[in-house]
Structure 1
Amino acid sequence: MINPAPPADDTVVVIRGRGRVSALGLELGPDYPVSPFTAHPTGVSVAALPAEAEAALTELRHAHPAYRQLDRTVLLALLAARLAVARVKLPVVSGQLPVRSVAGLAERPDYWALVTNNRQPTTNNQLAISIGSSRGATGRLEEFHAGFLREGRVPAAASPLTTLGNVASWVAFDAGQQGAAALSHSSTCSSAFQALGNAVAWLRAGMADRFLAGGTEAPLTDFTLAQMRAIGIYSPYAAADWPCRPGAGRPSTFVLGEGAAVFALERGSRAALRAAGEPAFLLEGVGFGFEAIGSKTGLSPEGSHFQQAMREALRQARAAPETIDAVVLHSPGTPAGDAAERAALRAVFGEHQPLLLSNKWLLGHTLGASAALSLDFALHVLATQHWPTPPFATDVNGPATHPLRRILVNAAGFGGNAASVVIGLE
């Protein structure tokens, strides 16, 4: 049974600002001649934060006494959320908010008033938060458990600091949120798009005026890296040799990374955007897919869950497959996963295959943050019409034959979950 298309109305979900932190730092550049990967003490390659981003995270950790106890995953979300709002460009702001020195931004009285549905400050602060993470407070959980094994007890803060809910609740605290909801959840590596799905549904239903939604992950711990190596998918290549190679075939080149991306969203109208005469990024559709297979780490050769997710995202966007100019792939560099996603693309797009793009060769696989960082990359591509070329043989990031106006972004995770998002340039 084919679900009917959503009703055609004037309501749109606008991406007003975005913030990210990853192995590429706080900004995205045009080209990357040197591998951003480094060697972890355990001996494998990882995509860790560079010095500038690490300094910003340290500054944030000391911006509030309570923040010194937070897990790295939570701090990454706070940093990305602050950057997302700092980059919102609205008439109520005099001049540009600084991107650097982000620790002081939350102290500004107009900080969270920037993201308003009608471009005016409001006392009806219906700001909702939705943050996805595959693992949550990984580092702190491992620290508390090690302390328990060593001493036989844990501090009282152990439980509240390691629940998944503490990710979104601390973002809400930092935002000075009044009303609406703060949602944390996990659907493995598609978690960030679950957050975007929440945002779209709530905004369209009028349950919130504004949203901060995205994903975050800090999984570069010895135990998490050991889990990934146990699956047998980790890249054998050294950090300097571009160890994550999506679309390059064998061997498997999965590499773990850390980071976060958060988006400032609002409900608007297409007519108002056109009247304003300014370009805008629209979150046009969010689709989900699931396939019940025997292996919780695998997927079907035909990528059934990818097919479901892409078709649903296209349906919500009221977009024909041939209107998609490019796809930012999930493609983590595992031969089976890469092949299944491409099989799904052939099933959905037929002979009208879009350009294939990827950022994992620069960021690694950031688990619950990966979908959000892929979306951020897609927005960067729409804004600049430029993307870097990998220094190895692959089917991703080739040249385009025409300007890109609409991009589909894929994500998938353990357990048979997949999600897709369609974004467009209005």
Structure 2
Amino acid sequence: MISAASDSLIIIRGRGRVAAVGLDWAAATFQSRSLGSHTLAVGGIPEAVEQALQLLRKQTASYRQLDRTVLLALLAARQATAAAGWLPQPAPALGVSIGSSRGATGRLEQFHEDFLADGTVPAAASPLTTLGNVASWVAYDAGTAGGAALSHSSTCSSAFQALGNAVAWLRAGMAERFLAGGTEAPLTDFTLAQMQALGIYSPFAAADFPCRPGAGRPSTFVLGEGAAVFALEKISRAALHAERAQQPAAPVFCLEGVGFGFEAIGSKTGLSADGQHFQTAMREALWQAGAAPETVDAVVLHSPGTPAGDASERRALHAVFGETLPDLVSNKWRIGHTLGASAALSLDFACHLLTAQAWPPAPFPTDLTPAPTRPIRRVLINAAGFGGNAASAVVSVV
């Protein structure tokens, strides 16, 4: 583990995002999806992004067979690469680390449905549905020939598992650059039915702000799809100082720490009342950042809109920060819960907050902070998943 005493920093050169908000965090619209006799709200990508996704699918013959999860990752990775100025194609030293809770959900379900219908399975079924299929296609599309291609699955903290691994490789000098993030395309009937079977799905209509983090009962979990990818580099403090002198107006985001927490939970869908895994992850991320809790200006919550999960995270925050909490914000009421992509999309939202110094107030009763109470210079981001795992990241602007 590397603390702030290190001479090197991990910076975000560029980032890409695909989600229900499209290209603008100020605009998002949930959609309605029929499931049997029920109508559920979902955070699907907008039509303009859908057209870009389908254009990408048709662009290359081999891409026509890819799962939607992979294509979302390709779109986000291309945005991140372009924003980083890594075009033309980056050198082979580029690594790729992508998290996804479920991987190729749509293709796997379709292959299984076809098998039940006629008893046959195409030869491509296995390579197209393994989790490693996600990172390897991102690496192929990015033009890297010899860099690492790592896929991670640790339920809803998968993206931060991917970010943490990328950071470790960069700090160890095992790579020069990394594309890292998360992706998920879970809006299939079977996956929606699974979420509804848990008894946590929101009863509110798509037009009625169906996902309501911090609002209490009823549970307002809403499933979404999306991806976010970050172009990461290691740079010395001296080199960054010289760079900032040349480009003082351009914001540079520093990924200061990525921490993890785990706890043994008898119920794999449950979590401890005081969020022990959250506490461990937050403290570890702050230690890596060399940052005291009082230096955190805002927290992008995991907060999926489930009463038990929301309350556990709040108790963990009080254990780490005391009675006076940083500003509490969420993007899930804009895009839903994107499972393995959610942590990456929350990190992208944190970068947006550092730039805009503002966020839209939630239009429902909640404990979310309606507007910044202080300048936003450092943000902590939380994520957690089934099985008692949590992850936190700290990002600041330099």
TM range (shorter): over 0.9
**Aligned partner of residue 184 in structure 1, secondary structure:** strand
- The one-letter code matched in structure 2 to 1:150 is A
**Aligned partner of residue 87 in structure 1, secondary structure:** helix
Q: Are residue 163 (structure 1) and residue 130 (structure 2) matched? A: yes
Residue equivalent to 1:87: 83
Per the TM alignment, residue 112 of structure 1 is displaced from its structure 2 partner at its CA by 2.7
Q: Are residue 21 (structure 1) and residue 14 (structure 2) matched? A: no
Give me the whole-angstrom Cα distance separating, in 2, the residues matched to 1:387 and 1:44.
Answer: 26
**Aligned partner of residue 218 in structure 2, secondary structure:** coil
Per the TM alignment, residue 384 of structure 1 is displaced from its structure 2 partner at its CA by 1.1
**Aligned residues of 1:387 and 1:397 also touching (Cα < 8 A):** no
Q: Are residue 420 (structure 1) and residue 386 (structure 2) matched? A: no
**Residues 135-150 of structure 1 aligned to structure 2 (within 5 Å):** 135-150=102-117
Q: TM-score, normalised by structure 1?
A: 0.90
The C-alpha deviation readout for 1:113-144, integer Å capped at 9, x for no partner, is: 3xxxxxxxxx5x31000000000000000000
- The one-letter code matched in structure 1 to 2:83 is R
Residue equivalent to 1:294: 266
Give me the whole-angstrom Cα distance separating, in 2, the residues matched to 1:39 and 1:22.
Answer: 16
Per the TM alignment, residue 353 of structure 1 is displaced from its structure 2 partner at its CA by 1.0
Residue equivalent to 1:152: 119
**Aligned residues of 2:377 and 2:396 also touching (Cα < 8 A):** yes
Residue equivalent to 1:99: none
Give me the whole-angstrom Cα distance separating, in 2, the residues matched to 1:337 and 1:401.
Answer: 25
**Aligned residues of 2:378 and 2:395 also touching (Cα < 8 A):** yes
The C-alpha deviation readout for 1:274-329, integer Å capped at 9, x for no partner, is: 22223310000000001101110010100000000000000000000000000000
Residue equivalent to 1:73: 69
Q: Are residue 362 (structure 1) and residue 358 (structure 2) matched? A: no
**Aligned residues of 2:4 and 2:290 also touching (Cα < 8 A):** no
Residue equivalent to 2:34: 41
Runs of 4+, deviation exceeding 4 Å: none
Q: TM-score, normalised by structure 2?
A: 0.96
**Residues 18-417 of structure 1 aligned to structure 2 (within 5 Å):** 18-25=15-22, 27-29=23-25, 31-32=26-27, 36-42=29-35, 43-89=39-85, 110-113=87-90, 125-277=92-244, 278=248, 279-417=251-389
Per the TM alignment, residue 351 of structure 1 is displaced from its structure 2 partner at its CA by 2.8
Residue equivalent to 1:100: none
Q: CA 1:223–1:153 in structure 2 vs 1: closer, same or farther (change >3 Å)?
A: same
Per the TM alignment, residue 271 of structure 1 is displaced from its structure 2 partner at its CA by 1.8
- Which runs of 5 or more residues in structure 2 are unaligned? none
Per the TM alignment, residue 89 of structure 1 is displaced from its structure 2 partner at its CA by 4.7
The C-alpha deviation readout for 1:30-89, integer Å capped at 9, x for no partner, is: x34xx6111112111101111000011011101100000000000000010001111225
Residue equivalent to 1:104: none
- The one-letter code matched in structure 1 to 2:310 is D
Range 394-403 or range 201-210, more displaced: 394-403
**Aligned partner of residue 44 in structure 1, secondary structure:** strand
Give me the whole-angstrom Cα distance separating, in 2, the residues matched to 1:256 and 1:14.
Answer: 30
Per the TM alignment, residue 401 of structure 1 is displaced from its structure 2 partner at its CA by 2.3
**Aligned partner of residue 280 in structure 2, secondary structure:** helix
Q: Percent of counterpart pairs with the same letter?
A: 70
Give me the whole-angstrom Cα distance separating, in 2, the residues matched to 1:295 and 1:270.
Answer: 45
Give me the whole-angstrom Cα distance separating, in 2, the residues matched to 1:235 and 1:111.
Answer: 45
**Aligned partner of residue 130 in structure 1, secondary structure:** strand
